[in-house]
């Protein structure tokens, strides 16, 4: 892809958009920036259009580069596409210029955990590894650095505008309803996720999740909690991860807990193995990784009650995974705090799990009432701080209090991180 003297419009001036601008300018392109906000504090040395997208400028462009947060189906962008303008994202630009092996990871839940696990396994083997995409560093910024392998976490928004990525190995961890307010329906969302397999050499697949499994092609290696004589599997009785039906990783030596994390470790191990990482390094990476903030993170054991911050659970599937992963460690009651911006999700799939495992349901936020309707013993609150106080009143030694909202945070917070931090601070204040 030659970019010299091309007229390129970059839409969205967040972290990714700014990295696109820097990259394109370095390649000699004529860049115009657009952002839907009416005001920006940053200063750019290129033309900048704020507010409503300029259809005239879009139609005149040789190429449009969309930031992940910008809807591909925005009418002005669709008009430009109909006029023959090509639209890509930062990952497509990355793919056009990258010559380093890529391990690509997507899925509704667990992406960041698996990405970090793969990185740690590669580092344990002495590999020079870079990580980015939907996590940490924008992908284009990685092109400036040397590496043996690049591990990319990819969202559906990024995959939607990616056509040329050729991963050495790729996986779709799972597919549950998410971002339907943007993608329209589950089938569309699924097809976008599955596109990660399109040009990859080794397909690493979750055999237990039919929606995440590639169609019209065979997996290179599979993983799952189900029994299997080949690939990775889980021996529940001995709490051990198996490879080809033989003991591989003793979960008792891992810092991560829960069935969902045993799946995450399997996925990471499979990706690392097809890349050529030795077994000892894979085990070392799996055993030393302690988890990420806001992802089933224990923040306190005050009064022998385990308080868990799972604020990153921004969809129904993540909350189901958290609850199902914790019940084997549950000695008392499970008190769940949930609610927020539901993004058009169907919450009714939570009902059976709530009935079976949740003793007290505390709800808040825009769609809190919809979630509350799923459980007879529900308590509605206005703030995270109030939710923590109510949970404390209903908890006793051996219980788990879990913040796992099944919703986005933007109705009440700047981000899921801020929501998780507010929860953690409230718990710390409770503990004195």
Q: 11 near 34, Cβ under 8 Å?
A: yes
Using CA atoms, how far apart are residues 241 and 228, in angstroms rounded to an integer? 11
Strands (E), 61-198: 63-66, 86-89, 102-106, 129-133, 149-153, 169-172
Given 109, 134, 261, 315, which residue is catalytic? 134
Task: Take residue 306 and report the two structure tokens written for it.
Answer: 């385990």
Q: 206 near 173, Cβ under 8 Å?
A: yes
DSSP structural state of residue 302: G
Given 179, 183, 312, 370, which residue is catalytic? 179
Name the nearest CA neighbour of 111 among 19, 20, 196.
196
Q: How many helices (DSSP H) and strands (DSSP E) are in the chain?
A: 16, 20
Q: 325 near 296, Cβ under 8 Å?
A: yes
CA 379 centroid distance within chain = 29
Using CA atoms, how far apart are residues 284 and 286, in angstroms rounded to an integer? 5
Is 134 a catalytic site residue? Answer: yes
- Number of alpha carbons in the 13 Å side-chain half-sphere of residue 246: 1
How far the first Cα of the chain sits from its last, in Å, is 59
Residue 243 phi/psi, 5-degree rounding, is -125, 125
Is 111 a catalytic site residue? Answer: yes
Residues annotated as catalytic (active site), given as ranges: 111, 134, 179
């Amino acid at each position: 892809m030659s970019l010299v003297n091309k007229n390129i419009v970059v839409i969205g001036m967040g972290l990714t958009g700014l990295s696109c601008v820097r990259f394109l300018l370095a390649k000699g392109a004529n860049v115009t920036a657009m952002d839907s906000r009416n005001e920006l504090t940053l200063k750019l040395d290129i033309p900048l259009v704020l507010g409503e997208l300029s259809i005239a400028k879009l139609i005149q462009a040789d190429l449009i580069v969309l930031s992940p947060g910008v809807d591909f189906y925005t009418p002005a962008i669709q008009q430009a596409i109909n006029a023959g303008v090509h639209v890509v994202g930062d990952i497509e630009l990355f793919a056009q210029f990258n010559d380093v092996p890529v391990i690509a990871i997507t899925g509704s839940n667990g992406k960041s955990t698996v990405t970090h696990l793969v990185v740690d396994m590669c580092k344990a083997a002495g590999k020079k590894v870079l990580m980015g995409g939907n996590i940490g560093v924008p992908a284009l910024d990685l092109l400036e650095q040397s590496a043996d392998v690049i591990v990319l976490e990819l969202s559906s928004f990024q995959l939607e505008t990616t056509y040329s990525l050729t991963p050495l190995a790729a996986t779709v961890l799972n597919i549950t309803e998410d971002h339907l307010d943007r993608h329209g329906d589950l089938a569309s969302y699924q097809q976008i996720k599955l596109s990660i397999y399109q040009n990859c050499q080794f397909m690493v697949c979750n055999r237990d999740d039919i929606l995440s499994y590639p169609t019209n092609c065979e997996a290179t290696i599979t993983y799952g909690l189900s029994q299997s004589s080949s690939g990775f599997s889980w021996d529940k009785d001995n709490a051990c991860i198996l490879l080809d039906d033989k003991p591989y990783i003793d979960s008792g030596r891992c810092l991560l807990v829960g069935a969902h994390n045993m799946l995450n470790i399997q996925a990471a191990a499979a990706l690392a193995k097809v890349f050529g990482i030795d077994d000892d390094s894979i085990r070392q990476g799996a055993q030393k990784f302690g988890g990420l903030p806001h992802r089933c993170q224990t923040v306190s054991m005050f009064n022998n009650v385990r308080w868990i911050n799972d604020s990153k659970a921004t969809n129904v599937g993540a909350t189901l995974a958290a609850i199902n992963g914790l019940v084997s460690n549950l000695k008392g009651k499970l008190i769940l705090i949930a609610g927020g911006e539901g993004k058009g999700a169907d919450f009714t799939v939570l009902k059976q799990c709530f009935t079976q495992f949740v003793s007290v349901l505390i709800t808040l936020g825009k769609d809190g009432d919809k979630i509350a309707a799923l459980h007879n013993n529900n308590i509605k609150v206005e703030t995270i701080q109030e939710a923590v106080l109510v949970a404390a009143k209903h908890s006793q030694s051996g219980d788990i209090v879990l913040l796992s909202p099944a919703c986005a945070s933007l109705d009440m917070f700047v981000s899921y991180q801020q929501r998780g931090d507010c929860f953690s601070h409230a718990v710390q204040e409770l503990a004195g």
